[in-house]
Amino acid sequence: MKHDDHRVPRDEFRRRVRHLDEVLTILDGLAKTPIDVFLVNPEKYGSAERFLQVALLALHNLGAEVVSIRDAVRVDKDWNVPDRLEASGLISKEEAALWRDVNRFHDVFVQDDLEVAHRRVHEILTTRLEDLRSLMRTVVRAEQRS
């Protein structure tokens, strides 16, 4: 039995999706920065790191909202959102695996070597933003099915 106690209104969910899309658009722009410029420009790498963190948190929150709709429970700090969505049949095994992989982007923010961290952020920007967009679409589909 579903409970709507924890559910945000659908228009609020859509607003959050639009916000994530805006953040990904900003990251798209930062991805165009050549690596040599990126590494020496704190405004570029600092912005990229922060917006990447925002994107990951927004994706998590959207997924947690879908879990709360489906299971009538809140998922706050729990990073097993993809597992919960997969177990509910709302996302595929492959989508859950991609989501778990994307969650590992957080590891870059605790990297001791800052140049390595900045290079890794640039690599994520130039090679993995489509994964974030794909997961955004996945969570929207899951919300529609919940």
Residue 2 lies in a domain: no
What pLDDT does residue 106 have?
Answer: 85
What CATH number has the domain bearing residue 115? 1.20.120
Residue 77 lies in a domain: yes
How distant, in Å, are the alpha carbons of 3, 17, 40, 92, 137 from that of 68?
A: 9, 16, 42, 18, 18
Number of domains in the chain: 1
Tell me how far apart the alpha carbons of residues 118 and 133 are, in angstroms, rounded to a whole number.
Answer: 21
Residue 104 lies in a domain: yes
What pLDDT does residue 113 have?
Answer: 85
Residue 4 lies in a domain: no
Whole-model pTM: value is 0.87
Residue 3 lies in a domain: no
Radius of gyration of the chain from its Cα atoms, rounded to whole angstroms: 16
Residue 141 lies in a domain: yes
Res. 4: pLDDT tops 50? no
DSSP 80-93: -HHHHHHHTTSS-H
Rounded to the nearest 5°, which phi and psi values hold at 6? -100, 0
Name the residue range of residue 117's domain: 10-145
pLDDT digits (tens, 9 = 90+) for 104-133: 998 888 877 888 899 999 999 999 999 999
The residue type at 17 = V
Residue 5 lies in a domain: no
The residue type at 114 = L
Tell me how far apart the alpha carbons of residues 144 and 62 are, in angstroms, rounded to a whole number.
Answer: 12
Q: Is the separation of the CB atoms in 60 and 79 below 8 Å?
A: yes
Residue 47 lies in a domain: yes
